[in-house]
Amino acid sequence: MNSGSERGGITIYDVAREAGVSIATVSNVMNKPERVGKATRQRVLEVADQLGYVPKAHAASQARKHVGRIGVIAPFTAYASFMRRLSGILTVASARHIDVSVFDMESAATAASPVLETLPIRGYVDGLIVMGEPLEPAVERRLADRGMPVVVVDADSERFNVVKIDDYGAGRMAARHLTDLGHRRIGYLLEGQVSDYESQARRRLGGFRAELEQTAGVDLQVTQVSGTVPAAREAARALLQGPERPTAVMAHFDDLALGAMLAARDLGLAVPHDLSVLGFDDGPVAEAADLSTIRQPFEESGALAIRQLLEELEAPAQRRLSVLECHVVVRASTGSPA
């Protein structure tokens, strides 16, 4: 097997020797990671990065050349919103006769570490769109070294094109909507996360807090919940039963807001007379529940991501950061406090 790198003469044999595994194991880690246990996979990748091992560029480019297929990676089963982004991707892909391979990943909020250890670099995609998952520097470097074009959506990257919203600014926008209505006791349902990283949820809450600081006499109660309607319903019920209960609740995304509305109903509170509820995303749940929310452009972000990826495949260019606008959609769930 001759899979050596031209960089410094580092070969697959060097990686295997340093990691204490066979060359077949190294090959599987690089090409078929699901066949290798997590601990072994991590050890091999760490050694490969330390040695600067990169498979021959010629072999990698030949494997990908003219495949006509892109990969899309996102926590699809954790959040329905990513299906809307995928819809934008598929619309553009269909018009340009590009095949799309979809890979489901665990939500970064529930993963012990928000790391995409082994992305599907298996020679059958020309480029990747990674949505809602932060890329660690080692993963970014590995992708870049293999010449893999990547666009990151709804997360950050120092190397690749990024399509996102301003979560901090959107948090401020949400807080302004509630304080302009006159609310001074406000609850916040925050999606909890297992690992410690600067997530979308934390940035959004940061903007919300910063905006509230511009108004005197505001009391904010933050409650962390898992990202489900039942969990939000239970947490909101506890939040709303105190003597100084909030007159408004902001939720990190629409499903959590729906949980708050159900909790209000459980307690005999009228929305919005007794309690205003504001969501985030503006998905089908928001429309069905007549929920006021912050709209973010899901389909637009997916369409922009694939257009940028296809442009990168045709002519690599300087890294771009695209920040899409959000706006408040006012429906029946928010109003002035009684």
Asked if 176 and 286 sit in the same domain, the reply is: yes
CATH label of the domain that carries residue 284: 3.40.50.2300
Domain assignment of residue 214, given as a range = 167-296
**Domain for residue 18, yes or no?**
yes
CATH label of the domain that carries residue 43: 1.10.260.40
- Residue closest to 156 by CA, chosen among 96, 199, 194: 199
Asked if 315 and 248 sit in the same domain, the reply is: no
- Residue 308 is predicted with a pLDDT of 97
CA gap 252, 257 in Å, rounded: 8
Going residue by residue through the chain (338 aa), what tens digit of pLDDT does each one get? 444 443 457 888 999 999 999 998 988 887 777 788 888 988 888 888 788 776 654 344 444 455 588 999 998 988 889 999 999 999 999 999 999 999 888 776 555 444 455 555 545 788 999 999 878 887 888 888 878 899 999 999 989 999 999 999 999 999 999 999 999 999 999 998 766 667 889 999 999 999 999 999 999 999 999 989 999 999 999 999 988 999 999 999 999 999 999 999 999 999 999 999 999 999 999 999 999 999 999 999 999 999 999 999 988 889 999 999 999 999 999 999 98
**Domain for residue 332, yes or no?**
no
Asked if 173 and 262 sit in the same domain, the reply is: yes
- Residue 202 is predicted with a pLDDT of 93
**Domain for residue 292, yes or no?**
yes
**Domain for residue 338, yes or no?**
no
Asked if 220 and 310 sit in the same domain, the reply is: no
Do the beta carbons of residue 119 and residue 145 sit within 8 Å? no
**Domain for residue 11, yes or no?**
yes
**Domain for residue 126, yes or no?**
yes
**Domain for residue 153, yes or no?**
yes
Structure tokens at 22: 């066979």
Q: Which of these three, 9, 40, 55, is where a domain ends?
A: 55
Asked if 149 and 78 sit in the same domain, the reply is: yes
Asked if 158 and 174 sit in the same domain, the reply is: no
CA gap 241, 197 in Å, rounded: 32
Asked if 286 and 177 sit in the same domain, the reply is: yes
Structure tokens at 174: 């949400």
**Domain for residue 335, yes or no?**
no
Asked if 196 and 275 sit in the same domain, the reply is: yes
- Residue 88 is predicted with a pLDDT of 97
Calculate ∠ Cα 16-20-22, nearest 5°: 50
Is pTM, for the whole model, over 0.85?
A: no
Number of folded domains that form the chain: 3
Provide the angle, in degrees to the nearest 10, between the axes of the packed helices 200-212 and 167-180: 40
**Beta-carbon neighbour count of residue 8 at 10 Å?**
11
Asked if 82 and 156 sit in the same domain, the reply is: yes
Asked if 111 and 49 sit in the same domain, the reply is: no
